[in-house]
Structure 1
Amino acid sequence: MFHPLRVSAIERITDDAVAVTFAVPDELRETFRHLPGQHLNVRYTLDGQEIRRSYSICAPAVEAPADPVLRVGIRMVDGGAFSTYALKELAVGDQVEAMPPMGRFVLRPRPGFFAAIVGGSGITPVLSIAATLLAREPAARFCLIRSDRTAASTMFLDEVADLKDRFPGRFQLVTALSREEQAAGLPSGRLDKERLTGLLPALLSVTDVDGWFLCGPLGLVQGADKALRELDVDRARIHQEIFHVEDGPAPAARIDAPADSTLTATLHGRSGSWPVQGAESLLETVLRSRSDAPYACKGGVCGTCRAFLVSGEVRMDRNFALEPEETDAGFVLACQSHPVTPEVELDFDR
């Protein structure tokens, strides 16, 4: 369910990025209390067209009775309708609709040693994760390895510097710039699999890290995952969130659904059945009758349309949101799923 939220602050953090803070009404304080690493799905009508986007919350997670802080980072995307609007027109006092915080790329504060490899705007959820962990858990340490194009394009420089000042013995920062040299730190260049495989053991004891958090463009996340697996890191300790898939593989070619294929879906406690038309996704099938079906990106990235496959078989075009244990348990992305069997049943409420 979407709720109206008023913009209370907008801060320009780079030439092409802003941090937007939303005021949370008293009656929605618990509804919008987030876990570190979660994101907001926002909805806005622009020029008569509904736009939905997903943005990670960068503010630390706080517990009651403290008021939740909803601050998201938005970077301009070429051709991006909402990001262009956010940077050029959105103003304090404007109203945007948002769903309650969601997402499973989270770290609940606990003792241990944790690390993250991020690229570009991938710093956004990890900033919340690191800040929350270090503030709440004195027995925790965190290593942040970040990659950006240039120093000027680096988001949340001040916030990360503050973590270094506040937790000098427990927070380690390693910065790589791909398009310019820096006075100190790593030589310029991308953090690809080969570079990370050699770099990581020199920085820390890789297998002693209790949890790895990878976030950013597809190429960086996949390269970091392969490097960690080559360095014998257990898959269960690696958590991923993809922000951009422009450089990823093309979706599988769509094929028509079986003749007379029918989808039955449960959503918000109500069930219905509808015919699947042609090559449409199961999400599109539901949306024809249920406008309240959850979605944001429709690209297999955000995981908003996650649903449990009760019966039947489906084919997913691509999946950048669900962990292997989730797909093994029977969850699918409705926006990427097409029926393989004549009858398919989904449960969005699980």
Structure 2
Amino acid sequence: MARFHPLQVAAVDRLTDDSVALTFAVPPALREDYRHSPGQHLALRRTVDGTEVRRTYSICSAAPAPDGEGPDTLRVGVRLVEGGAFSAYALKEIAVGDELDVMTPAGRFTLEPAAGLYAAVVGGSGITPVLSIAATLLAREPQARFCLVRSDRTTASTMFLEEVADLKDRFPERFQLVTVLSREEQQAGLPSGRLDEERLSALLPALLPVQSVAGWFLCGPFGLVQSAERTLRGLGVPRARIHEEIFHVDDGTTAGPSIPAPVHSTVTARLDGRGGTWPVQDGESLLETVLRNRADAPYACKGGVCGTCRAFLVSGEVRMDRNFALEPEETDAGYVLACQSHPVTETVELDFDR
């Protein structure tokens, strides 16, 4: 089970005018707890005016070797979100020496290093998990190559410029970088403009053999990720090779079908080896029901994006409002997002431990 631990801030590095990288020191006793796969994220927690606020941020540092010790530090990237309760605090107030509640790593937007050609299309802060994926892959697997297509507004707004440049210097024959700026002309390279479906359909086949790529990693705003997925499917890439993580979703972008809820519903949930059964109040999600009775239920964003609240649907039927975290094979296998799930049958059983 994912758990929070207080970790000390070891470094605060300004990346751009509106983004920082936070480095946390991991004490020896917790290093195995914070062992992570490349591409996973951390949930950070604070209390604002008596209300608990959680936000997830992807780990940008390379993952530890499987046969070595767990990490002694963890680094995440944080970009300012207008009106953000946590990002503004991170940029303006967090200082070295502060302690923050940090959840153990979670997420399935990951790549275990293996030989082959891999590629990513990212926008803005979507570089964060892909930086960890690429750095880990190239360092561990000498027969791997990685192509990164990144989109940003301007050079000044581009996160992790130095870290990506370091990958180019260390792996010049195996790391390919293509940068597209939407609001600034470059002296060399591609013309400015958004990476829409039309541009991607022309660009990607010119860069690499699209159908020979072992894994595509799409990360960033909803529009870019959807455009990239449609492009790849149109170019014949199997859905199983496409992995997505959405960072920004406008409310109301996608909603599940309207299915009348039963008058009285109960949810039975197994969590950390213990179970319980509770009535579902009118309009609340299954996660909200469980949280009223088990404060240790896992969650972070509550927006259907991070996947922290993933649970296995043992029995019953639910309606999910939206899903931007689970892959099709996960939903086909019976997994749901508890934060987006509402009961359709009178009884529903969830297992958070699977």
Offset of 1:277 from its aligned partner? 0.7
What is the aligned counterpart of 1:3 among 5, 14, 28? 5
Contact 1:119–1:147 under 8 Å retained in 2: yes
What is the aligned counterpart of 2:111 among 86, 99, 107? 107
Confirm whether residue 260 of structure 1 aligns to residue 264 of structure 2. yes
Q: Take 1:67 and 1:198, find their aligned partners in 2: how far apart are those partners? A: 41
Amino acid at match of 1:37: G
1:249 match: secondary structure: coil
- 1:29-70 per-position Cα deviation (integer Å, ceiling 9, x unaligned): 111011110000111123332110100000011221364430
Amino acid at match of 2:130: V
Over aligned residues, Cα RMSD in angstroms?
Answer: 1.3
Gaps of 5+ in 1: none
Confirm whether residue 295 of structure 1 aligns to residue 292 of structure 2. no
- 1:296-324 per-position Cα deviation (integer Å, ceiling 9, x unaligned): 00000000000000000000000000000
TM-score normalised to the size of structure 1?
Answer: 0.98
Partner of 1:165: 169
Contact 1:45–1:51 under 8 Å retained in 2: yes
- 1:66-87 per-position Cα deviation (integer Å, ceiling 9, x unaligned): 6443000000001111000000
Partner of 1:53: 55
Partner of 2:150: 146
Q: Take 1:66 and 1:57, find their aligned partners in 2: how far apart are those partners? A: 14
Ranges of 4+ aligned residues in structure 1 off by more than 6 Å: 253-256
Contact 2:259–2:344 under 8 Å retained in 1: no
Offset of 1:246 from its aligned partner? 1.8
Offset of 1:252 from its aligned partner? 4.6
CA gap of 1:230–1:68, structure 2 versus 1, over 3 A, is farther
Offset of 1:254 from its aligned partner? 6.9
Offset of 1:193 from its aligned partner? 1.1
Q: Take 1:102 and 1:321, find their aligned partners in 2: how far apart are those partners? A: 12
Count of aligned positions: 350
Q: Take 2:145 and 2:251, find their aligned partners in 1: how far apart are those partners? A: 33
What is the aligned counterpart of 2:69 among 46, 53, 65? 65
Offset of 1:185 from its aligned partner? 1.3
State the percentage of identical aligned residues: 73
Partner of 1:30: 32
Partner of 1:87: 91
2:312 match: secondary structure: strand
Offset of 1:256 from its aligned partner? 6.3
Amino acid at match of 2:81: V
TM-score normalised to the size of structure 2?
Answer: 0.96
Offset of 1:249 from its aligned partner? 1.3
Partner of 1:322: 326
Amino acid at match of 1:36: P
CA gap of 1:75–1:292, structure 2 versus 1, over 3 A, is same
Offset of 1:94 from its aligned partner? 0.8
What is the aligned counterpart of 1:210 among 208, 214, 238? 214
What is the aligned counterpart of 1:233 among 237, 259, 276? 237
Partner of 1:135: 139
Partner of 1:305: 309
Partner of 2:100: 96
Gaps of 5+ in 2: none
Contact 2:35–2:70 under 8 Å retained in 1: no
1:81 match: secondary structure: coil
